[in-house]
Structure 1
Amino acid sequence: MAEAAERTRETLRCRPDGRGAGAACRGQEQAAQGSAAVLRALDKVNGHTMDTEVAIGASAEMFGLLVTVSDCRYPAENPTGDAFAYLSVRDPSDGAVHFQGWMVASSPALSALDHNRYDVWVMRCSSS
């Protein structure tokens, strides 16, 4: 019984060629890594926005927050498609972390920064 279950699990795993596990694997796209992320910040009090391109591994101060980009990826077959980036958002004065994790460009509320004054989200990845 255990051998049959293991064979079933092995069959369901996605292979690099995208086959296996039926529709689940077909829905997975190969991701390319960008060299930077284009981010937008909003000051909710006065309505001002700013766009900044932040290189992978670098940080930028956006209004009153320090944003670090660790990774930015996008669909390899569709560079203008849905980007997702791993961000760390901290308070520069005391280092308090307000957000750390993956943020998806098309669904920023899925994994959002929870700050009373500022909002930050991913616009796209840059590969130049």
Structure 2
Amino acid sequence: MRKFIRIIVAASLVAGFAGGALADPYPVAVFSGLDKTTARVTKFSAEIGKPTRFGALEVTVRACDKKPPEEQPRTTAYVEIRQINEEKNEVIQAPIFKGWMFAENPGLNALEHPVYDVWLNTCKTSSGPASSGNR
């Protein structure tokens, strides 16, 4: 019986790694940002490794990935967000947010700032308009 259980566990692990692996990384992440002072939500794109400005924030994406359409949705991005001192126009060195964001659960790990909220929408292959095509 134990041997049978080991075979089932091994087979499910192999199937999980083969079928459940994430696709190739996407080069662009699409975010929504809320400016609480104006109550405006803005969509913006950020290319991996290139700092992108949203209000007084600098958003840098380190990785962005999502599963193919035939699998259960899962879109993730590893993001660093730093605040910009607007008076001196310089970036504060320590990130105010550093971690994974999940598009399917935006409340789980989004940036909540006194003035701005930022959450992940999707990953895509090109840096065209934020509302345009995904992979």
TM-score in same-fold range (> 0.5): yes
Q: Which residue of 2 aligns with 1:66?
A: 58
For residues 32-70 of structure 1, the C-alpha deviation after alignment (integer angstroms, 9 at most, x for no partner) is 211110111110121112211111111100011000000
For 1:78 and 1:56, the matched residues in 2 are separated by 25
Unmatched segments (≥5 aa) in structure 2: 1-5, 86-91, 127-135
Q: Letter of the aligned partner of 1:14 in structure 2? A: L
The one-letter code matched in structure 1 to 2:66 is: Y
TM-score (norm 2): 0.70
Q: Determine if contact 2:33/2:118 at 8 Å carries over to the other structure.
A: yes
1:109 aligned counterpart, secondary structure: coil
- Are 2:118 and 1:120 equivalent residues in the alignment? yes
Q: Which runs of 4+ in 1 moved over 4 A?
A: 10-13, 77-80
Structure 1 residue ranges without an equivalent (≥5): 1-6, 20-24
Question: Aligned-residue CA RMSD in angstroms?
Answer: 2.7
Between the aligned residues of both structures, percent identity stands at: 31
* Corresponding residue pairs, total: 113
SS at match of 1:95: coil
Q: What is the deviation of 1:77?
A: 4.3
Task: Measure the CA separation in 1 of the matches of 2:71 and 2:54.
Answer: 25
- 1:30 and 1:76 in contact (8 A); partners too: no
